[in-house]
A and B are shown apart, each in its own frame.
Chain A
Amino acid sequence: MFEGFFNVVKERFNGAEEEYKPPMFKCPRCTQTSPLSRYEELHRVCPKCNYHGRLSSQERIAITVDKDSFKELDGGMKSGNPLDFPDYSEKQAELQNKTGLNDAVITGTATIKGSPVVIGIMDSRFMMGSMGSVVGEKITRAFEYATDKGLPVVMFTASGGARMQEGIVSLMQMAKTSGAVKLHSDAGGLYISVMTDPTTGGVTASFASLGDIIIAEPKVLIGFAGRRVIEGTIKQRLPEDFQLAEFMHEKGFVDMIVERRKMRSVLSHLLKLHGFYPKEKEA
């Protein structure tokens, strides 16, 4: 009866005798390992290959916009269950508890080095950043708000694509968001799309690809179809760099690849180049 208990104690005791090993980060791109602390210090960039890892929306806000400038829009919005999909509501409640997020995108207004923006940040921790009713509605409202106020939009995308549990309703969010982007564009609005890891499926095939300027972080995954799906179709292995940011840049679908440490400064320059200066300078 006590055997199990003593084994646990033994394991713990033996473990303590071993040399201290710092927690390590294994890069999904280059598969090399580095101390996790170093990876974190670089804001989740692989020290070996420069792969830009996934950030939470809060972390992204902290390194992108001016301190205390972020004001959230529609923060309380939660998804319904349009298809009465089994366990969907429970799964959401569980994730809401775990992540503190209500769904896979946070939207709001902020300033970047003083320039005013409407900003959206997708969070891959919530059902792989998939787009359902809430993501669609919040992004649509963000663009409508920006159109109304004459503001530019900066959107950080990270998504596995459509939210399967919302079926056709999730597909229609592609039309809804793209329509709002189009009206913002027709009104002369500036939209900078920043593709982060991963940007795929229905998000690539809608608002993520519609930016006036499209930026990507190094080594992130960008594509329409999943790698495994394509390999299944063509019955052969794809090259390692297929669908990485650099590949999409070479093919002409990304304007520039920008490192995380320079992102804020590049965004600020681009905003100013389009006439969005800090408020005090207008006077």
Chain B
Amino acid sequence: MDEKRTAWERLQLVHTKGRPTIKDYIPQIFTDFYEMHGDRLCGDDKAILGGIGRLDGRPVTIIAQVKGRDINENKACNFAMPHPEGYRKALRLARQAEKFHRPIICFIDTPGAFCGVAAEERGQGEAIAKNIAEFMTLRTPIISIVLGEGGSGGALALGVCDELAMLENAEYSVLSPRGFASILWKDASREQEASEIMKITAEDMVRLGVAEAIIEEPLGGAHNDLDKISENIKEYLSQKIPEKCQKDIDVLLKERYTKFRKIGAFTE
């Protein structure tokens, strides 16, 4: 593992041009991948990709937020900020996975759910709430991995799972440090200060009981060696997926509920 980086330095790494996206990872980790489209209600949101493939020969459902590798890709996927139809597509595919007893692997990589007029009109809040509630009781194993940015409720909508892993330099937060500084101090330029105070790194997530595992990145960050980082992700999944699939599903669901149930700091 690399020498210790600050939260701010990691954020810069996550935003480095050339950091691998889900489109780079899929051919490296899965075989026989078929993408599925649409929420069957309104449209097909390119900010969320979903489909079926094989992990070590085992059929799995893959749901991921899509970052673009250049400006054209980013325009198409709305800079990985999903609309409600993206979350509803995710839920449709998750239910399909449950029906066919396929484990679900979610890849989180978003600054947050899209904040816009159409998103509000089509119920962004409801779509996220529904995913969170439904994923809690889906009768199939779910593993989520934060690839880069895990921003807010927009990330959590793919983050209710049996186990959460963070790439070494990935961050997970209630809001982007910029938004945080802007809300709390009315000064967006204090984002670096916010990033250090907010506790958003992979180690913070493990310490706070939000994540269970950290996946090591190659020296200098994931963009330096796609083969190596893909191998590390695959190694993690190849161990965890069979482990979760062997568990009695009722035990798994109870553990999933407890994982979130116990997070909080209070006195009585």
Contact = CB atoms under 8 A, between A and B. Distances in A.
A80 B133 contact: no
Contacts of A79: 265-266
A201 B120 CA distance: 11
B48 to A, nearest CB: 16
Interface string A138-180: 0010000000000000000000001011111111111110111
Contact of A169 (B126, B137, B265): B265
B199 A137 contact: no
A186 interface: yes
Contacts of A14: none
Contact of B268 (A76, A229, A242): A76
Interface residues of B, number: 51
A273 interface: no
A136 B264 contact: yes
Given A169-B265, A205-B153, A164 B128 contact: no
Contacts of B160: 175, 179
B132 A178 contact: yes
Contacts of A208: 125, 129
B257 A171 contact: no
A113 interface: no
A181 B133 contact: yes
A210 B133 contact: yes
- Most B C-beta atoms less than 10 A away, residue of A167, A202, A210: A167
Contacts of B116: 225, 230, 233-234
Contacts of A223: 120, 125
A230 B129 contact: no
Nearest to B123: A253
A251 B121 contact: yes
B236 interface: no
Interface of B: 113-117, 119-126, 128-130, 132-134, 136-137, 152-153, 156, 159-160, 172-175, 179-180, 183-184, 197-200, 204-205, 208, 210, 257, 260-261, 263-268
Given A78-B267, A179-B160, A207-B129, 9 more contacts: A76-B268, A79-B266, A80-B267, A167-B200, A168-B199, A179-B136, A201-B153, A210-B133, A224-B153
